[in-house]
């Protein structure tokens, strides 16, 4: 019995040793062969690489190999260079892109890795299974490790990839111009030295200014290149972008005929921010990640700002850039909600906070003329549009002047129904002007006369919601795209309980008929 047990143990031990030997053999087979020879000598001796060797000599890069500094070379075949010269010319920049001071061993790489080339541009080195790629070009051969480096062979010349900024500068200048418009100069407080105070007590600095780009700070530094930091941008190319603006212009009609008529101001304030919010992502996002998951109706992704956005488009034409991916839209059109939907202006946007529960009129948003000072208040109301309202109270029976003037966001020229949500028992008699034209005279006591019901000038009635209700009027003097000036002029206290003004919101509904 003991002899039998010993025999079994010996057999198991031999099997284990055999398996271990096989694993070590496979391990060593995966390691690159090493050769004690200068890599430059090997390349010069290979006729298939003679064109590359010729360019090395032409640009006087052969001196690089006189030291033992390691290099990784990505060498196109002679035929690959012939194809390049049929359509372009060889430059130092292209040659630099095929040389790296970093030693690349493909067996140690899985997935993607950025490689800094000789000209400091980054190329994308990628391994997928047994295949290895440089910027999507398959590397057909990997050399042994020589004394001062190794090389890969590829059948096409790799052209230096633009960064995302350079890509869109060529393929859709409207995005480049938008990014450039975000440039500003700000004070570097860490490097600036305080030297005194002005008459208002503000610190005066011996300033050191720095350039600052709001887009690159908020989204991604598209003009810079990094080893480990990338982004994906989905944005229409110029022809598709303009074609969509053409369709939008046809829908708007009247003075709008094609994309050249769509105001650039609207594109910069509405359209482009919308596209960026829904189209800029961290890291390199593959096409497969834009597919709606099984048993799901919609696809949601986290954008680079950290917000969850619904993806309602299909990206196409992936372009590898030196700092990320750029995609076009498969079928780009502009959501009509961006130019046909209503626009709501919140009353509390006219205020600025100056202390705990203390507010003042924002001088950049509102102009107020009054015989007396009435502090405005932002009041929290759960049933309000944005959970808060603008409220200003006058002395009871106030008969002096009060005028509130402000601009709302840019609107396209068309007919609008302007709807104001207010408190029924805080008001007076007001003349309401739009672009300096009297649109209506509003008497808040009419809510009392009409038992809190208000008949719309369009159709139907507005019914009370607690102490709040709405009233409306037509706006028919919007002749050009731009801001719309609104003015409330107080005329009389009327018979309401409290004199003053409450604005929850003002909403503009477009009418094309």
pLDDT, block means (10 residues), the chain with 513 residues:
48 45 39 83 96 96 92 96 84 95 86 90 91 94 94 95 96 97 71 64 63 91 92 98 97 90 95 98 96 90 97 96 96 93 95 93 97 96 95 95 94 94 97 98 97 96 96 94 95 93 97 73
What was the pLDDT predicted at 89? 84
Please state at what angle helix 50-58 crosses helix 78-87, rounded to 10 degrees.
60
- Separation of alpha carbons 472 and 457, rounded Å: 7
What was the pLDDT predicted at 25? 38
Please state the length of the chain.
513
What was the pLDDT predicted at 389? 98
Domain boundary assignment for the chain = 39-154, 183-338, 343-511
Beta strands (DSSP E) in 81-237 are 99-100, 111-116, 122-128, 131-134, 137-142, 149-154, 183-187, 193-197, 203-206, 209-213, 231-234
Centroid of chain to Cα 9: 66
- Separation of alpha carbons 208 and 188, rounded Å: 6
Class of domain 39-154: mainly beta
- Separation of alpha carbons 508 and 408, rounded Å: 10
Beta strands (DSSP E) in 20-148 are 71-76, 99-100, 111-116, 122-128, 131-134, 137-142
What was the pLDDT predicted at 212? 82
- Separation of alpha carbons 125 and 103, rounded Å: 12
Number of Cβ within 10 Å of residue 341's Cβ equals 12
What was the pLDDT predicted at 14? 43
Question: Which DSSP state fits 268?
Answer: I
- Taking the domain 343-511, which CATH number applies? 2.60.120.260
- Separation of alpha carbons 235 and 275, rounded Å: 7
């Amino acid at each position: 019995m003991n002899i039998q047990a010993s025999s079994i143990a010996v057999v198991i031990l031999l099997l284990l040793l055999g398996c271990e030997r096989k694993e070590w053999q496979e391990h060593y087979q995966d390691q690159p062969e090493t050769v004690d020879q200068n890599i430059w000598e090997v390349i010069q001796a290979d006729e298939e690489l003679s064109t590359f060797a010729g360019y090395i000599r032409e640009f006087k890069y052969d001196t690089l190999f006189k030291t033992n500094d390691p290099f990784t070379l990505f060498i196109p075949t002679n035929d690959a260079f012939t194809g390049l010269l049929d359509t372009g010319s060889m430059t130092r920049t292209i040659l630099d892109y095929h040389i790296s001071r970093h030693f690349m061993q493909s067996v140690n790489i899985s997935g993607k890795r950025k490689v800094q080339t000789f000209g400091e541009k980054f190329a994308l080195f990628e391994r997928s299974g047994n295949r290895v790629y440089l910027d999507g070009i398959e590397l057909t051969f990997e050399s042994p490790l020589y004394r001062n480096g190794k090389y890969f062979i590829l059948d096409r010349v790799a052209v230096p990839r633009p960064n995302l900024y350079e890509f869109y500068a060529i393929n859709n200048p409207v995005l480049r111009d938008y990014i450039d418009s975000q440039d500003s100069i700000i004070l570097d407080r860490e490097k600036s030295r305080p030297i005194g105070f002005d008459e208002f007590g503000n610190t005066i600095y011996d300033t050191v200014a720095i350039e600052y780009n709001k887009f690159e700070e908020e989204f991604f530094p598209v003009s810079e290149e990094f080893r480990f930091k990338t982004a994906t941008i989905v944005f229409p190319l110029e022809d598709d972008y303009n074609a969509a603006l053409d369709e939008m212009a046809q829908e708007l009609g009247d003075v709008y005929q094609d994309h050249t008529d769509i105001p650039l101001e609207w594109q910069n304030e509405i359209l482009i921010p919308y596209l960026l919010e829904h189209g800029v992502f961290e890291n390199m996002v593959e096409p497969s990640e834009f597919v709606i998951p099984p048993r799901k109706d919609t696809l949601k992704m986290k954008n680079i700002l950290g917000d969850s956005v619904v993806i309602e488009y299909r990206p196409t034409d992936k372009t590898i850039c030196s700092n990320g991916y750029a995609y076009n839209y498969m079928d780009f059109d502009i959501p009509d909600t961006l130019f046909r939907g209503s626009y709501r202006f919140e009353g509390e946007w006219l205020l600025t906070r100056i202390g705990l529960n203390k507010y003042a009129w924002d001088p950049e948003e509102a102009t107020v003329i009054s015989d007396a000072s009435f502090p405005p208040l932002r009041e929290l109301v759960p049933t309000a549009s944005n959970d808060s309202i603008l409220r200003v109270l006058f002395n009871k029976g106030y008969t002096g002047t009060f005028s509130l003037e402000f601009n709302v966001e840019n609107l396209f020229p068309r007919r609008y129904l302007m709807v104001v949500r207010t408190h029924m028992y805080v008001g007076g008699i007001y003349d309401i002007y739009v672009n300096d034209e009297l649109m209506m005279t509003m008497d808040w006591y009419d809510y009392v006369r009409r038992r809190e019901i208000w008949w719309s000038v369009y159709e139907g009635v507005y019914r009370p919601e607690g102490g709040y209700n709405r009233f409306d009027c037509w706006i028919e003097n919007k002749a050009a795209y731009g801001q719309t000036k609104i003015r409330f002029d107080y005329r009389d206290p009327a018979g309401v309980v409290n004199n003053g003004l409450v604005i929850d919101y003002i909403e503009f509904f477009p009418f094309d008929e």
